[in-house]
Structure 1
Amino acid sequence: MRTAVHDRGGVAAIEFGIMIPLLSLMVVSVTDIGLALYRKMQVENAAQAGAQYAIVRGFDETGVTSAVTAATNSTAINASPKPYQFCGCPTSSGVSTVSCGAVCPGGAQAGTYAMVSAQGTYYTLINYQIVAATYTYSAQSTARLQ
């Protein structure tokens, strides 16, 4: 009995057994964060792909929507809200909407723009109880066509 009290054999195995769930949770959590960031980048790239389509081929709602969904292999990404075309003037804070044919404050004609939006949902790998189980990412891209 005295030797059993001072015996240290198997202590490493017991410590490993205690630590492996914590280490596994850490690995899954880091992977989950990486996948969530990747989904966010996919949504941003899909919105940019739709705007690039409108620049190259002209504004076509169906074509732009197809470009957004085809930009990634994820079925969780879509063009929402629908892409639209508008006339506007560039300002320091973005593009202000004006009627087509209007003259901008700088004296130039109002340009034609396309606004493309993409939206995607990410579902976490496990339910962490302290954070949401789903995240919805959205991105917009505005491009001048003329």
Structure 2
Amino acid sequence: MRTAARDTRGAAAIEFGIMVPLLSLMVVSVADIGLAVYRKMQVEEAAQAGAQYAIARGFDTSGISSAVTSATNSTAITASPGPVQFCGCPTSGGVSSVGCGTVCTGGAQAGTYATVSAQATYYTLINYQIVAATYTYNAQSTARLQ
């Protein structure tokens, strides 16, 4: 009996069998985080592509929406809510919406801007039980057209 208690043959195999599920979960979790970050980057890129379309070709709701949805290889990205055109004045905190024809501080006329939005939902690879199984990413890009 004493020799069986001191026998360590096969201990590595048992340790390996215990650690494999934990290591596998860690690998899948890291891959899942990477895919979620990639989806977020795709949404941001799609909003930028829509704004660039509006700058190059003018405000066209269907054209901008098409540019957003075709900006990446993901079919989950939508142009939601739809693109919006408005008049505004640049400020230190962004663009403030004003009536068209308004004179901004500094004497310049209010410009025409477009705000483009993109949205997509990411579904985790496995259900972790302690975090949400879905994440909705939104991005918005505003560009001056005139």
Q: TM-score normalized by structure 1?
A: 0.98
Q: Distance in 2 between matches of 1:2 and 1:84?
A: 80
Cα deviation code 1:2-59 (max 9, x no counterpart) = 3211111000000000000000000000000000000000000000000000000111
In structure 2, the residue matched to 1:82 is 82
- Aligned CA RMSD, in angstroms, stands at 0.6
Give the drift of 1:67: 0.2
- Matched position secondary structure for 2:5: helix
**How do residues 1-146 of structure 1 correspond to structure 2 at under 5 angstroms?**
1-146=1-146
Instruction: Indicate the SS of the match to 1:90.
Output: strand
Q: SS at 2:46's partner residue?
A: helix
Q: TM-score, normalised by structure 2?
A: 0.98
| Consecutive aligned runs of 4 or more in structure 1 exceeding 6 Å deviation | none
Shift of 1:93: 0.6
2-structure distance, mates of 1:123, 1:75: 14
The 1-side partners of 2:43 and 2:112 are apart by: 24
Question: How far 1:84 sits from its partner (Å)?
Answer: 1.0
Q: Which amino acid aligns with 1:106?
A: G
Which consecutive residues of structure 1, in runs of 5 or more, have no partner in the other structure? none
Q: Deviations over 1:76-102 (max 9, x none)?
A: 110000001110000011101111111
